[in-house]
Amino acid sequence: MTENQETTEVSEAQIAVHWREEEYIQPPASFVAQANAADPAILERFAEDKFPECFHEYADLLTWDERWHTTLDTSNPPFWKWFVGGKLNASYNCVDRHAQANPDKTAIIFVAELESEEPDHISYGELLRRVNEFAAVLRDFCGLKAGDRVTLHLPMVSELAVTMLACARLGVIHSQVFGGFSGHACGTRIADSGSHVLITMDGYYRAGSLLDHKEKADQALEQAARQGQEVDKVLVWRRHPGQYASAIPMAAGRDFFVDDLLADYRGVTVEPVSMDATAPLFLMYTSGTTGRPKGCQHSTGGYLAYVAGTSKYYQDIHPDDVYWCMADIGWITGHSYIVYGPLALGTTTVIYEGVPNYPDGGRPWKIAEQLGVRIFHTSPTSIRMLRKVGPEEPKKYTYHFRHMTTVGEPIEPEVWRWYHSEVGKGEAVIVDTWWQTENGGFLGSTLPALQPMKPGSCGPGVLGVYPVIYDEDGNEVPKGSGRAGNICIRNPWPGIFQTIWGDPERFVATYYTKYNKDPNSTDWRDWPYFANDGATQAADGYFRILGRVDDVINVAGHRLGTKELESAALTVPEIAEAAAVPVIDDIRGRIVEMYVSLKPGAASEGVEAKVSLAIETEIGKIARPKNVWVVPDMPKTRSGKIMRRVIASVSNFADVGDVTTLANPEVVEGIKHRVQSTKVAKGELPRQLSEAEYEEIAKFGAES
């Protein structure tokens, strides 16, 4: 069965969702008075009849070596090409031009987790020096050139931004793997991208301890080698130059300390390589329906224009702002809205190393006060967590946010209100930005000075992006109907990814085949982008995103594929079958529970711990299941498919629905009794689920 057919089955139901519509909240006049997009004429400039030329306004925020001749080339759909003929360099745009105009201005403030370490203010001039010197290492010591791929496995440190920008300077395609991912996960991504160089760090601080990170590099290389990819150089930044924080020995001739290498490149400058707008800038791996992660390939010109434009109008970044996005650069949010967008606009961006609640739940507000942060950007999971551990903390600090963002998951209106009144002190606008790794930048959001906020809804499509909700048959679900369907984007936009690295067929099948009207058409109108999210649209045009319609579980804003989780569990020799399901969680949105059955004769002793460890090893700690349930048999259809919706319902104390068509309906009661009584005994009773949450669980994984 193809991935696409599976997806179709999964999102079958046409569900009625009866949301209580929330009230509008208007932006404060003080915000409107200074906003970058305060004149409604901007909505006209981006109206559909101005597409695609409307996006010149974004591209004109950049400095081009050569201007494009074709704004949007649709000749090979759905592989859209933006700003064809244009040439530019991303590192020049994010560093050089600001360093020339304003060398002493702070580009990056690195805030270490330990408060004893002073924040490091890196000026644009200094950033330029660091980027040049490291680019020289990459070019002259590693022999890297435009088009080569390099895997980065770095924590939240300024060296990560320097590394990305140094790659961009050379046209080398960076592929940063989230630092919290395991060595195995990193190794798979090294192999998929064909990287010969890995760039990592010895250790970093998290929740108060210095973690050994270099150990993951050795595991990554072994895993990559098993998949046929040899890595010849490992560059190791040291968290404290001169001091090695890892217990793992450096491999002679393969592993090199970056601070040692840099000694030979002091003051060396590297000319930024003028790249085609359509040349890839980076890969960002994400999860999908099948087990294999997808390397989303982002372009240089379209991507950079899109993140610059959306940073200006939706993040309302002005050059003199101190802007803090508390995401991880290892995810797309960090690439677009910590590094590339803010730096393209020449603002000051904060990089914070650690967890938000170290040493206590007031840390973010303390940092905001110390640094004078005016724009703050985070996820619902962090907001829920900070609200839980320190509801009164924001009051203790005298920061003033003008603008706040939420991203990555649906946010409950109640949590939104705490963010607005307590964190924002009622003074800040909020944008709820909906988008995906594949998209480069925002797809759905209010334009903060021009469109009022509505808690729980992301808002309409952003400038130049025209979303639509389709049912399974491709009929438009009208706004205000209260019905949910699959949210799609009718048109291409400059931030859209170019392809899945090495797998163009999967790119077409996953995102375009479902709603394509004519495979031979070169008219973009025939190629809606299928986002794999469910949504409803209110009468006012605002969208409410309900969550994934494919087999992806969004844990604290991190996408985890059920197939990835299941194949990790299957590495435990005792396991015959495994199924991953989501459980609604008050802090992390969703958490994972695993159901496993054993091979005949296998001992059940310690299997739960082995499964957890296997998932941690294959993917990373973020994926660790809340519970592992060993069951005698999985509930299955007559054709032998595991009914994930049945076990998902059991785990969430929801109605298991009709089980009479199962091949083995008798197993359900036993599983339910054991799982639910154990959860009750552990105090893991869920709260009352909303209607939409019940729907999600009842549909989860459909049949397969």
Q: Which residues bind ligand WTA (CB under 6 A)?
A: 286, 331-333, 407-410, 432-437, 458, 533, 545, 547-548, 554, 559
Interatomic CA distance for residues 482 and 537, integer angstroms: 7
What is the SS3 string spanning 505-537? HHHHHHHCHHHCCCCCCCCHHHCCEEEEEEEEE
Please, what is the minimum distance in Å from the beta carbon of residue 122 to ligand WTA?
26
Residue with tokens 């609200």: 387
User: What element of type H or E holds 235?
Assistant: strand 233-237
Q: Which residue number, 286 or 652, has a Cβ lying nearer to ligand WTA?
A: 286
Q: Which C-beta is closer to ligand WTA: that of 280 or that of 547? A: 547
Choice between 348 and 554, CB closer to ligand WTA: 554
> What is the helix (H) or strand (E) element at residue 98, kind and residue range?
helix 97-101
- The single-letter DSSP state of residue 219 is H
Nearer to ligand WTA, 362 or 547 (CB): 547
Give me the least distance between CB of 696 and ligand WTA, in Å please. Answer: 11
Cβ distance to ligand WTA smaller for residue 186 or 224: 186
Nearest to 652 by CA among 606, 622, 613, 692: 692
Strand 529-537 versus strand 485-489 pairing type: antiparallel
C-alpha neighbours within 13 Å on the C-beta side of residue 99:
18
**Beta pairing class for 348-352 and 322-325:** parallel
Give the closest residue to 335 by CA, choosing from 164, 560, 167, 146: 164
Least spacing, CB of residue 185 vs ligand WTA, in Å: 15
* Residue 67 CB burial class (10 angstroms; 0-12, 13-18, ≥19): middle
Cα separation values, 308 from 60, 337, 343, 494, Å:
10, 9, 8, 11
Closest residue by beta carbon to ligand WTA:
437
CB 337 within 8 A of CB 325: yes
CB of 318 to ligand WTA, least distance (A): 23
Complex with ligand WTA: residue 256 or 337, whichever CB lies closer: 337
Any idea what the Cα angle at residue 409 is, between residues 403 and 414, rounded to 5°?
A: 70
Minimal distance, residue 559 CB to ligand WTA, in Å: 5
Q: How near is the Cβ of 82 to ligand WTA at its closest, in Å?
A: 20
Q: Pick the closer one to ligand WTA by CB: 163 or 286.
A: 286
Nearer to ligand WTA by Cβ, of 545 and 596: the residue is: 545
Three-class SS state of 451: coil
Residues with Cβ within 8 Å of residue 249, at least 6 apart in sequence: none
CA atoms of 7 and 702, how far apart (whole Å): 9
Supply the DSSP string of 433-501, one letter for each residue: EB--GGGSS-SB---TTTS-B-TT--BSB-TT--EEEE-TTS-B--TTS-B-EEEEESS--TTS--EET
Of residues 91 and 333, the one with the C-beta less far from ligand WTA: 333
In the bound complex, what is the minimum distance in angstroms from residue 334's beta carbon to ligand WTA?
10
- In angstroms, what is the minimal distance from the CB of 331 to ligand WTA? 6
What is the closest distance, in whole angstroms, from the C-beta atom of residue 332 to ligand WTA in the complex?
A: 5
Nearest CB to ligand WTA, comparing residues 203 and 495: 495
Shortest Å, Cβ 1 to ligand WTA: 22
Minimum gap (Å) between residue 378 Cβ and ligand WTA: 12
Least CB distance to ligand WTA at residue 73 (A): 26
Closest to ligand WTA by CB, 433 or 649: 433
Closest to ligand WTA by CB, 455 vs 625, is 455
Between 635 and 701, name the residue whose CB sits nearer to ligand WTA.
701
The two structure tokens encoding residue 182: 């395991």
Alpha carbons 55 and 65: distance in angstroms, whole number:
18
CB of 629 to ligand WTA, least distance (A): 26
Rounded CA separation 225/314 (Å): 43
Distance CA 107, CA 122 (A): 6
Counting runs of H as helices and runs of E as strands, what totals does the chain give? Answer: 23, 30
Give whichever of 399 and 416 is closer to ligand WTA, judged by the CB atom: 416
Upper half-sphere CA count for residue 420 (Cβ side, 13 Å): 20
Q: How far is the CB of 544 from ligand WTA (least distance, A)?
A: 8
Amino acid at 162: V
Residue with tokens 């967590």: 385
| Nearest residue (CB) to ligand WTA, 189 versus 548 | 548
Residue 282 has phi, psi (to 5 degrees) of: -160, 165
Q: In what order do the strands lie in the sheet with 529-537?
A: 467-470, 485-489, 529-537, 543-548
- 51, two tokens: 């597409």
228: tokens are: 């046929």
Task: Kindly tell me the burial class for residue 85, based on how many C-beta atoms sit within 10 Å of its own C-beta (0-12, 13-18, 19 or more).
Answer: middle
- Nearer residue to ligand WTA within complex by CB, 204 or 543: 543
Surface-to-core class of residue 25, CB atoms within 10 Å of its CB (0-12 exposed, 13-18 middle, 19+ buried): middle
What whole-number distance in Å separates Cα of residue 569 and Cα of residue 596?
8
Supply the minimum distance, in Å, between the C-beta of residue 575 and ligand WTA.
28
Minimum distance from residue 244 beta carbon to ligand WTA (Å): 33
Query: Do the Cβ atoms of 236 and 202 come closer than 8 Å?
Result: yes
